[in-house]
C-alpha cells in the first residue's frame, strides 16, 4: 500500500503545479537518504531489502521533486519534465496495460516474475475491472514489477535527460538539465545469476560540460548506482544512487570523496516523455 500511495502522489504532483505539505515530504525524503551517511544508513538498509522498499523510497522522492524543480523559472520555461500523458505505463492497449483482476489463485508478491506477467494482464479487460484490480496489492505488484522490468529492458533505447537539485527545498536555483544520455547496457560477466546489468553513457552534457556515466542496475530490486565524471575538468566525481521506477531513475547524488553524504535529489527520464520530444 505505501508504494501505491507514493506512486499516486508522484503522478498527482507531476500533473499539478502546487500541492500542500511539500516541504515536509521533501525533508522526510532527503532524511531517508541522509540519515548518518548513505553508506551506513539503517533506513537505507531496511528499504533496500526488498523491491517494494526501493520503489517506495524512489516514488516518495518523486512526490516532491516536480514541486522543487518548478521553483526555478528556467525549468518552467523549458517545460521539459515528463508529461503524464506521454508516459508509456498507462496507455490503453499498449504492451503494459493496467492490471487484470484475474491473478492466479494463491499468488503472492514473492511468486512474481517477468515471464508470467503478460499472461496475467489483459488489454481487453473492462476499465472498471482494471481500476478495481489497481487497488489489489498483488495485482499492483505485478503491474509495478512489469513496468520496471520493461524500462530496464529498454534502458539503452532512446535519449535520457534529467535534473539534480542542490537542496531539498524550493530555492529556485536548479542547474540546467543533463541531456544527450544514451545508455549502453551489457550483462555483468561477474554475476552468474544475471541480476546485474552494467551501464555506461559517454556523451552526456550538462551545465558543467560533457560527462560520462558508468555503473550498474540490479534487476531484482531495481537499484541503480552510477558514477558521473566530467571530461577534461577537475570537478570531483559524483555518485548517483537510486532506483528504476516506472517514471525513470530517481534517487540522490553525492560526492564520492564525502563518504556518500547526499547533497540533493536526482531524476533521469526519457526525453520522449516530455513536451520537448
pLDDT band per the 50, 70, 90 thresholds, residue 259:
low
CA 22 to chain centre: 19
| 43 vs 125, higher pLDDT | 43
- Nearest of 193, 118, 114, 187 to residue 155 by alpha carbon: 187
Q: Which residues contact 142 (CB under 8 A, 6 or more apart)?
A: 99, 103, 112, 117, 120, 121
Residue 42: its pLDDT value, please? 55
* Strands 196-206 and 248-255, sheet pairing: unpaired
| 153 vs 27, higher pLDDT | 153
Q: Which helix (H) or strand (E) holds 243?
A: strand 238-245
- Lowest mean pLDDT segment, chosen from 116-120, 146-150, 162-166, 189-193: 116-120
What phi, psi does 264 have (nearest 5°)?
Answer: 175, 180
C-beta separation of 85 from 184 below 8 A: no
Please give the Cα distance from 234 to 254 (Å, whole number).
Answer: 16
- Lowest mean pLDDT segment, chosen from 17-31, 125-139, 260-274: 125-139
- With a cut of 50, say whether residue 264 has pLDDT above it: yes
Residue 258: its pLDDT value, please? 53
* Mean per-residue pLDDT, 179-186: 98
What phi, psi does 249 have (nearest 5°)?
Answer: -95, 120
Q: Which single residue is written with the C-alpha cell 545469476?
A: 193
Residue 18: its pLDDT value, please? 54
Average pLDDT, the chain: 78
- With a cut of 60, say whether residue 265 has pLDDT above it: yes
| 117 vs 189, higher pLDDT | 189
Cα-based distances in Å from 99 to 95, 105, 128: 12, 15, 11
- Nearest of 251, 238, 170 to residue 208 by alpha carbon: 238
Percent pLDDT > 90 in the chain is: 42
DSSP 8-state secondary structure symbol assigned to residue 246: T
pLDDT band per the 50, 70, 90 thresholds, residue 169:
low
Q: What structural domains and CATH numbers belong to the chain? A: 2-87+153-273 (2.40.128.120)
Residue 2: its pLDDT value, please? 77
C-beta separation of 253 from 266 below 8 A: yes
The string of pLDDT tens digits covering residues 85-123 is: 888 875 444 444 444 444 444 544 444 443 333 333 333
Amino acid at each position: 500500500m505505501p508504494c501505491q500511495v507514493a506512486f499516486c502522489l508522484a503522478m498527482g504532483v507531476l500533473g499539478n503545479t502546487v500541492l500542500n505539505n511539500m516541504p515536509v515530504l521533501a525533508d522526510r525524503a532527503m532524511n531517508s537518504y541522509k540519515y548518518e551517511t548513505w553508506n551506513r544508513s539503517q533506513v537505507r538498509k531496511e528499504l533496500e531489502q526488498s523491491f517494494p522498499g526501493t520503489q517506495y523510497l524512489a516514488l516518495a522522492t518523486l512526490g516532491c521533486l516536480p514541486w522543487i524543480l518548478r521553483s526555478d523559472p528556467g525549468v518552467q520555461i523549458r517545460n521539459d519534465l515528463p508529461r503524464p500523458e506521454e508516459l508509456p505505463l498507462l496507455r490503453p492497449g499498449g504492451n503494459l496495460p493496467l492490471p487484470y483482476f484475474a491473478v492466479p489463485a494463491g499468488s503472492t508478491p514473492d511468486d512474481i516474475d517477468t515471464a508470467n506477467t503478460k499472461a496475467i494482464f489483459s488489454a481487453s479487460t473492462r476499465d472498471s475491472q482494471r481500476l478495481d484490480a489497481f487497488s489489489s496489492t498483488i495485482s499492483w505488484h505485478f503491474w509495478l514489477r512489469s513496468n520496471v522490468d520493461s524500462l530496464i529492458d529498454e534502458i539503452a533505447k532512446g535519449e535520457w535527460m534529467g535534473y539534480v537539485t542542490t537542496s531539498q527545498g524550493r530555492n529556485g536555483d536548479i542547474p540546467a538539465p543533463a541531456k544527450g544520455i544514451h545508455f549502453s547496457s551489457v550483462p555483468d560477466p561477474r554475476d552468474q545469476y544475471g541480476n546485474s546489468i552494467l551501464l555506461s553513457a559517454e556523451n552526456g552534457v550538462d551545465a558543467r560540460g560533457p560527462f560520462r556515466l558508468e555503473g550498474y542496475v540490479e534487476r531484482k530490486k531495481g537499484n541503480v548506482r552510477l558514477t558521473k565524471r566530467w571530461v577534461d575538468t577537475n570537478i570531483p566525481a559524483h555518485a548517483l544512487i537510486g532506483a528504476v521506477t516506472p517514471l525513470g531513475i530517481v534517487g540522490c547524488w553525492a560526492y564520492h570523496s564525502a563518504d556518500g553524504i547526499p547533497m540533493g535529489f536526482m531524476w533521469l527520464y526519457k526525453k520522449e516523455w516530455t513536451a520537448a520530444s
